[in-house]
C-alpha cells in the first residue's frame, strides 16, 4: 500500500484537542486519504479515545468493541488503531484485553504516531502535509500545547498527558496560515490552559499568548479568532489589556473554567481564586464592556453542602454567564479528590445539576432577547438537514460545538455557502439559540 488511495474510517471522541491530533495524523498519511463511510470499507480504522472521566471511558470502550465486532470476520481486515487518553491511562490493561487492536497510540508519543501507523500500513508518512480537517469549512481548532502543569484535585489530565509543553511559535503561525488558506474563516485556540502558552519556555524566547495572538491577528482571510480554556489565574490585567487593544479578528469571548464559586469547595479542589472567583469576572469586565463569558461548573464535589450549593446558585444568578456547562462530579481513580470523605449522593448531584441548568436557562433566554430585531453577523456552518432554505450558523458569542446556534432562513433561491459570514436580522430568541432571517 504505497501511493494508492487509502480509505480511512476515523472516530475522534472527547475534546477538540483530540480532534486536532486526529487531523494531524490523517494529514501525515498523505494526499491520497479518503473517508470510508463505514469501518467495513476501510483500510485503516482509527479511534481516538477520551479517558478523562468514567462516562468518556465507557463511550470509548464501547466504540472500540463495536468496531471490533464489525470488522472481525473481514478478510482482509482493516488495520485497527486505537489512540488517545484511554490508551495513556489504561494502556497495559487494554492491550491484554483487546489483542485484536493492531496499533496502540499513546498521547505521550504524539510525534511517533505517523511512523507507527505508516509501519502498520506499509505506507510512507509525510509529517509536512496539512491537517485533514474534519470540522467543515467554517472553523478549525489550533492546539497551542500539550499537557497541563496545574494540580486540580479532581483532574486526571496531568497524569494522562503529562506537564504543559508549548508548541513552537513559528510552527503554530505556519499551521494557522495554512488553515486560513484552506478557506477557514475562524480559528479557535485550544489547550488544557491556553493562558499558559510559553510559560514552560526560556524567557529569552519571549513566547507567550500575547506574542502568539499578535502574530495571528494579521493573517489575511482570518475573520474570527477565539480563545478557549483560559485558566482563571492566567487572565492578568496585563494580558487582558493587551487583548482589549487587539481588536478584530480577536473576539471578546472568554471561556474560563471556574468549576465552583464557594471558597471551601475551591480550596478542596486546588483551584485558584479560592476566596472569590468574582475577581476574575470583574477583571474581564473592567477591560471589556460586553464580553461573552462561558464557564464550566462541577456540582456534587465531596463535601459540597446545601449552603455551598446555594452560594454557587447565587453566584450564577449574579454573574449572568453567556454560556454555562454543568457537570456532576465523577470520582476518578488516582486523583486526590477520589479519597475525600463526605461524598454527595448521586441523586443529590443530579438534582443540583438540573437546578443550576434551570437557572442558567432563564438567564440565557433573557440574554438572547437583546438581539431580537438586531442585524448580526452569522458565520454559516451548514444547510439544515431537514429544511431546505434553512442554515445553521453561529454569532461571535457562540463557540462551535459547545454553545447555541443561529438558525438562518434564506429567501427562496438564495444559497449561502458554509464558511461565509452573512448579515441576518434576528427574529426570535429561544433558550439557547437564535432564529434569524437574511
Q: What does the alpha-carbon distance between residue 437 and residue 20 come to, in Å, rounded to a whole number?
A: 33
End-to-end CA distance of the chain: 49
* Series of mean pLDDT values for 10-residue runs along the chain (438 residues): 76 92 89 82 92 89 91 90 92 90 92 90 72 91 94 91 94 96 96 94 84 97 97 94 95 96 95 83 96 97 97 97 97 93 97 98 96 96 84 96 93 74 94 93
Q: Is residue 60 part of a domain?
A: yes
pTM across the whole model: 0.93
DSSP state of 197: T
Looking at residue 129, what is its pLDDT?
Answer: 73
> Are 168 and 112 in the same domain?
no
Looking at residue 126, what is its pLDDT?
Answer: 66
Q: Is residue 303 part of a domain?
A: yes
> Are 262 and 328 in the same domain?
yes
Q: What does the alpha-carbon distance between residue 266 and residue 272 come to, in Å, rounded to a whole number?
A: 7
Task: Assign 3-state DSSP to the chain and report helix, strand, coil percentages, each to 5.
Answer: 40, 20, 40
Neighbours of 348 (CB within 10 A): 16
> Are 317 and 410 in the same domain?
no
Boundary-marking domain end, from 334, 369, 404: 369
> Are 206 and 354 in the same domain?
yes
Looking at residue 412, what is its pLDDT?
Answer: 62
Give every CB contact of residue 227 below 8 A, 6+ residues apart in sequence.
188, 189, 194, 209, 213, 243, 250, 253, 254, 255
> Are 108 and 145 in the same domain?
no
> Are 21 and 146 in the same domain?
no
Looking at residue 68, what is its pLDDT?
Answer: 92
What's the domain range around 93?
Answer: 6-121
Looking at residue 302, what is its pLDDT?
Answer: 98
Q: Which cell goes with 155?
A: 483532574
For the chain, state the CA radius of gyration: 22
- Decide the pairing of beta strands 33-35 and 6-12: parallel
Q: Which cell goes with 89?
A: 491511562
Looking at residue 288, which CATH number applies to its domain? 3.80.30.20
Q: Is residue 115 part of a domain?
A: yes
Looking at residue 296, what is its pLDDT?
Answer: 96
Considering its fold, how many domains does the chain have in total? 3
Boundary-marking domain end, from 340, 369, 398: 369
Boundary-marking domain end, from 330, 351, 369: 369
Q: What does the alpha-carbon distance between residue 363 and residue 156 come to, in Å, rounded to a whole number?
A: 32
The helix (H) or strand (E) run that includes residue 88 is helix 85-97
Looking at residue 378, what is its pLDDT?
Answer: 96
Q: What does the alpha-carbon distance between residue 184 and residue 198 come to, in Å, rounded to a whole number?
A: 25
Looking at residue 3, what is its pLDDT?
Answer: 53
Tell me phi and psi for residue 383, to 5 degrees.
-65, 145
Neighbours of 228 (CB within 10 A): 22
Q: What are the helix (H) ranges across 217-345?
A: 237-246, 263-269, 278-287, 306-319
Q: What does the alpha-carbon distance between residue 391 and residue 436 come to, in Å, rounded to a whole number?
A: 10
> Are 41 and 184 in the same domain?
no
Q: Is residue 337 part of a domain?
A: yes
Looking at residue 413, what is its pLDDT?
Answer: 60
Q: What does the alpha-carbon distance between residue 36 and residue 60 come to, in Å, rounded to a whole number?
A: 20
User: Could you tell me how far CA 112 lies from the centroid of its own chain?
Assistant: 23
As beta bridge partners, residue 60 has: none
Q: What does the alpha-carbon distance between residue 390 and residue 236 come to, in Å, rounded to a whole number?
A: 42
> Are 365 and 393 in the same domain?
no
DSSP state of 208: S
Mapped onto helix, strand or coil, the DSSP state of residue 293 is strand
Q: What does the alpha-carbon distance between residue 212 and residue 196 come to, in Å, rounded to a whole number?
A: 12
CB 28 within 8 A of CB 126: yes
As beta bridge partners, residue 423 has: 377
Neighbours of 61 (CB within 10 A): 18
Looking at residue 1, what is its pLDDT?
Answer: 46
Looking at residue 13, what is its pLDDT?
Answer: 93
Listing DSSP states for 388-433 in one string gives TTEEEEE-TT--TTTS--EEEEPPTT----TT-EEEEEEEEE-SS-
> Are 181 and 283 in the same domain?
yes
> Are 427 and 283 in the same domain?
no
> Are 108 and 231 in the same domain?
no
> Are 222 and 331 in the same domain?
yes
How many residues does the structure list for the chain?
Answer: 438
Looking at residue 417, which CATH number applies to its domain? 2.40.50.140
Angle, CA 266 vertex, CA 188 and CA 341 arms, to 5°: 125
Q: Is residue 108 part of a domain?
A: yes
Looking at residue 2, what is its pLDDT?
Answer: 47
Q: Is residue 131 part of a domain?
A: no
Which residue carries 505556519 as its cell? 174
Q: Is residue 1 part of a domain?
A: no
Q: What does the alpha-carbon distance between residue 331 and residue 322 come to, in Å, rounded to a whole number?
A: 28
Q: Is residue 70 part of a domain?
A: yes
Q: What does the alpha-carbon distance between residue 196 and residue 234 come to, in Å, rounded to a whole number?
A: 7
- Decide the pairing of beta strands 292-299 and 253-255: parallel
Amino acid at each position: 500500500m504505497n501511493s494508492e488511495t487509502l480509505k480511512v474510517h476515523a472516530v475522534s471522541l472527547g475534546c477538540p484537542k483530540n480532534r486536532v491530533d486526529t487531523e494531524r495524523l490523517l494529514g501525515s498519511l498523505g494526499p491520497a486519504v479518503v473517508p470510508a463511510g463505514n469501518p467495513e470499507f476501510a483500510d485503516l480504522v482509527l479511534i481516538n479515545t477520551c479517558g478523562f472521566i468514567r462516562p468518556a471511558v465507557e463511550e470509548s470502550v464501547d466504540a472500540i468493541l463495536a468496531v471490533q465486532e464489525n470488522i472481525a470476520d473481514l478478510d482482509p481486515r482493516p488495520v485497527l488503531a486505537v489512540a488517545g487518553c484511554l490508551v495513556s491511562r489504561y494502556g497495559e490493561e487494554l492491550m491484554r484485553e483487546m489483542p485484536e487492536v493492531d496499533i496502540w497510540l499513546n498521547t505521550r508519543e504524539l510525534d511517533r504516531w505517523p511512523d507507527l501507523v505508516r509501519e502498520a500500513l506499509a505506507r510512507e508518512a509525510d509529517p509536512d502535509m496539512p491537517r485533514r480537517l474534519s470540522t467543515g469549512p467554517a472553523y478549525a481548532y489550533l492546539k497551542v500545547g500539550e499537557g497541563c502543569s496545574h494540580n486540580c484535585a479532581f483532574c486526571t489530565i496531568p497524569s494522562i498527558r503529562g506537564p504543559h509543553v508549548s508548541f513552537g511559535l513559528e510552527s503554530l503561525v505556519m499551521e494557522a496560515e495554512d488553515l486560513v488558506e484552506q478557506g477557514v474563516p475562524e480559528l479557535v485556540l485550544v489547550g488544557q490552559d491556553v493562558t499558559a502558552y510559553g510559560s514552560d519556555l526560556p524567557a529569552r524566547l519571549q513566547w507567550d499568548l500575547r506574542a502568539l495572538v499578535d502574530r495571528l491577528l494579521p493573517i489575511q482571510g482570518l475573520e474570527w479568532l477565539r480563545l478557549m480554556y483560559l485558566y482563571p489565574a492566567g487572565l492578568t490585567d496585563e494580558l487582558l489589556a493587551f487583548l482589549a487593544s487587539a481588536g478584530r479578528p480577536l473576539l471578546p469571548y472568554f471561556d474560563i473554567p471556574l468549576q465552583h464559586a464557594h471558597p471551601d469547595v475551591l480550596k478542596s479542589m486546588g483551584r485558584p481564586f479560592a476566596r472569590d472567583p468574582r475577581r476574575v469576572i470583574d477583571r474581564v469586565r473592567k477591560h471589556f464592556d460586553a464580553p461573552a463569558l462561558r464557564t464550566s461548573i462541577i456540582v456534587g464535589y465531596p463535601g459540597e453542602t446545601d449552603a455551598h450549593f446555594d452560594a454557587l446558585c447565587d453566584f450564577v444568578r449574579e454573574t449572568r454567564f453567556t454560556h454555562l456547562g454543568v457537570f456532576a462530579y465523577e470520582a476518578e481513580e488516582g486523583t486526590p479528590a477520589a479519597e475525600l470523605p463526605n461524598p454527595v449522593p448521586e441523586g443529590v448531584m443530579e438534582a443540583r445539576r438540573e437546578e443550576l441548568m434551570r437557572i442558567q436557562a432563564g438567564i440565557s433566554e433573557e440574554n438572547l432577547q437583546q438581539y431580537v430585531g438586531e442585524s448580526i453577523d452569522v458565520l454559516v456552518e451548514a444547510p439544515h438537514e431537514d429544511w431546505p432554505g434553512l442554515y445553521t450558523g453561529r454569532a461571535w458569542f457562540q463557540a462551535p460545538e459547545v454553545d447555541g446556534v443561529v438558525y438562518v432562513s434564506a429567501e427562496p433561491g438564495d444559497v449561502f455557502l458554509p464558511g461565509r459570514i452573512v448579515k441576518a436580522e434576528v427574529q426570535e430568541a429561544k433558550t439557547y439559540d437564535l432564529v434569524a432571517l437574511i
